[in-house]
């Protein structure tokens, strides 16, 4: 498994580099073919390569991962692959190339994978713009979706994920000379300030809703009243009702300055993965872990989103965070604990087998 992870990590695959993602897909396909004894379907959508292995006529368990990363080309020069003191390091190892390898090894160890679909996508880190429909279609009708994203802190499985909405608020004002006749202008900068404060007020800490203005820009020169401005907004919610409430409020924003104009674009990107979508699968995983002696398991609710949000959104029971144990996703200290690789791979194998037996009864 370490050798297989090394191969994938050394093949850099930043999501925004189509050629890099295509090269990575071919390496993942070759690795999967060797371990699973079957070639995947290569599904190219918007120039991005996704891989699908289907075993049997009817999909009952969807195993889900991705092979793209946030790390730009050349990251290996500053963050080289290494294994030392029981820890594996390298760009994308934790999120989530180790998880892809774990899926291959777990499924390869099944006596019969009939009923399993393995989907490895190539644009998750961008929000899955091309693969969302593919993921949702594969999940519909399945008894379970098992997501090989990395675990939460301490190896906890992710049983709840917030939903995500993304917006851009564009502001149109009117330019004027800031020294000679500023009163003739309509400042997009000032209007943006009003709107940033209004947007931030939409959060609700008690409901677990965060509404965060992020990147902002306005104006052209230091001596000109800004005619144009825009800012981005990141929304995280625990419930569909909160996602809808914030969406309505965002699209109802109105200007504070006379003659300013506001255009709001965007909306919900991922629905919440609610706790009830994971409860039964988590209980099953706990029982399997106890039987194997790889427990005890823990669970966690997290603010980050994954493709598991999509599978839960179409009504498929979903358990996330089944991948590597370690830490530092997207960060300089990204790493994977070697001692947990065989334990968590065994858990995945037996969880899939248990689900298949259940469906056969």
Structure-block tokens of residue 351: 């969880």
- Choosing from 4, 124, 138, 350, the catalytic residue is 124
Of all helices (H) and strands (E), which one includes residue 110? Answer: none
| Cα angle value 98/102/105 (rounded, 5°) | 140
Backbone conformation region of residue 293, classed left if phi is above 0, alpha if psi is from -120 to 50, else beta: left
Strands 163-172 and 228-237: antiparallel
> Helix 98-108 to helix 340-360 angle, to the nearest 10 degrees?
50
- Choosing from 68, 125, 160, 191, the catalytic residue is 68
- Phi, psi dihedrals of residue 83, rounded to the nearest 5°: -125, 120
DSSP string, 152-184: -GGG-EEEEE-EEEEEEEEEE-B--BTTT-GGG
- The alpha helices in the chain, defined as continuous H runs, are 2-10, 18-36, 75-78, 98-108, 132-139, 188-200, 240-251, 275-292, 308-313, 340-360
Compute the distance between CA of residue 169 and CA of residue 306 in angstroms, rounded to an integer.
25
Verify whether residue 68 is a known catalytic residue: yes
- Phi, psi dihedrals of residue 256, rounded to the nearest 5°: -95, -30
Q: How far is CA 129 from the centre of its chain?
A: 11
Of all helices (H) and strands (E), which one includes residue 304? Answer: none
CA distance to 81, 87, 162, 188, 350, per residue, from 308 (Å)? 28, 27, 11, 39, 20
Catalytic residues: 68, 124
């Amino acid at each position: 498994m370490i050798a297989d992870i090394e191969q994938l990590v050394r093949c850099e695959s930043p999501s925004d580099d189509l050629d890099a993602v295509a090269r990575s897909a071919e390496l993942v396909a070759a690795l999967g073919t060797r371990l699973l004894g079957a070639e995947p379907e290569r599904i190219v959508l918007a120039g991005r390569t996704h891989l699908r292995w289907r075993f049997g006529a009817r999909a009952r368990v969807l195993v889900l991962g991705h092979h793209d990363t946030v790390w730009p080309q050349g990251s290996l020069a500053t963050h080289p692959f290494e294994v030392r003191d029981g820890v594996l390091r390298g760009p994308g190892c934790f999120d989530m190339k180790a998880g892809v390898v774990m899926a291959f090894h777990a499924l390869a160890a099944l006596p019969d994978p009939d009923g399993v679909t393995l989907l490895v996508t190539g644009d998750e880190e961008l929000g899955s713009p091309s693969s969302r429909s593919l993921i949702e279609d594969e999940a519909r009708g399945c008894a379970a979706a098992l997501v090989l994203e990395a675990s939460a802190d301490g190896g906890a499985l992710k049983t709840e994920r917030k939903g995500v909405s993304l917006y851009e608020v564009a502001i149109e004002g009117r330019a004027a000379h800031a020294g000679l006749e500023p009163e003739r202008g309509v400042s997009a900068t000032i209007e943006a300030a009003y709107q940033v404060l209004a947007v931030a007020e939409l959060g609700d800490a008690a409901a677990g809703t965060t509404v965060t203005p992020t990147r902002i820009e306005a104006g052209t020169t230091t001596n000109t009243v800004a005619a144009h401005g825009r800012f981005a907004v990141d929304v995280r919610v625990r419930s569909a009702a909160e996602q809808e409430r914030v969406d309505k409020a965002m699209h109802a924003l109105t200007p504070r300055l006379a003659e300013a104009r506001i255009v709001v674009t965007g909306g919900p990107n991922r629905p919440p993965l609610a706790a009830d979508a994971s409860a039964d699968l988590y209980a099953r995983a706990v029982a399997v872990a106890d039987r194997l002696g790889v427990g005890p398991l823990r669970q966690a609710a997290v603010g980050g989103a994954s493709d598991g949000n999509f599978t839960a959104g179409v009504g498929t029971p979903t358990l996330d965070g089944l991948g590597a144990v370690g830490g530092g996703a997207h960060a300089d200290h990204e790493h994977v604990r070697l001692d947990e690789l065989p334990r968590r791979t065994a858990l995945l194998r037996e969880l899939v087998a248990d689900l298949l037996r259940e469906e056969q009864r």
